[in-house]
């Protein structure tokens, strides 16, 4: 049984609840244990995962959050840099699933977060577990 850390940027609680339900459901269905921590925003997710990875307590990680486009360039920075940070961790050999939604509006986020619709939280958890399996295969 693997230990999976879910790192969430809890800005939109109702959307995060759905993403978390999907991620937790996928992890539990696969027979693994999970823990959840909260960070201020999506930009902090990669850093928190890097710190947690140093502890050696977790075998896989899932980043969860929602970034909705606003009126400024901030959306592009948060969307791009959080994804880049998670990809860098993956390239360094960590099993990381990216469940950070980057959407135009709340309606898009609702469809993607809902476990009964697109279930992006569950998909992110499954991606992390798939990478963990590959790590075991090639490690």
Domains of the chain: 6-11+31-138 (3.40.50.960)
Catalytic residues: 74
Check whether 11 is labelled as a binding-site residue: yes
Check whether 94 is labelled as a binding-site residue: no
Check whether 67 is labelled as a binding-site residue: yes
Cβ density class 101-138: b for 16+ within 10 Å, e for less = bbbeeeebbbebbbbeebbbbbbbbbbbbebbeeeeee
At 72 the pLDDT is 87
Distance CA 41, CA 139 (A): 33
What would the DSSP string read from start to end of 7-45? Answer: EEE-SSHHHHHHHHHHHHHHHHHTT-EEEEEEESSGGGH
Mean pLDDT by 10 residues, the chain (139 residues): 97 96 98 98 98 98 96 92 98 98 97 98 98 94
């Amino acid at each position: 049984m693997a230990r999976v850390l879910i790192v969430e940027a809890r800005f939109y609680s109702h959307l995060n609840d759905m993403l978390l339900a999907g991620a937790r459901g996928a992890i539990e269905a696969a027979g693994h244990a999970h823990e959840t921590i909260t960070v201020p925003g999506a930009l902090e997710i990669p850093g928190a995962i890097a710190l947690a990875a140093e502890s050696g307590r977790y075998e896989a990680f899932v980043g969860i959050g929602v970034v909705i486009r606003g009126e400024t360039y901030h959306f592009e920075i948060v969307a791009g840099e959080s994804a880049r940070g998670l990809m860098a961790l993956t390239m360094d050999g960590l099993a990381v699933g990216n469940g950070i939604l980057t959407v135009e509006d709340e309606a898009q986020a609702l469809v993607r977060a809902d476990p009964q619709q697109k279930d992006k939280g569950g998909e992110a958890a499954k991606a992390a577990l798939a990478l963990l399996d590959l790590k075991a295969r090639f490690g």
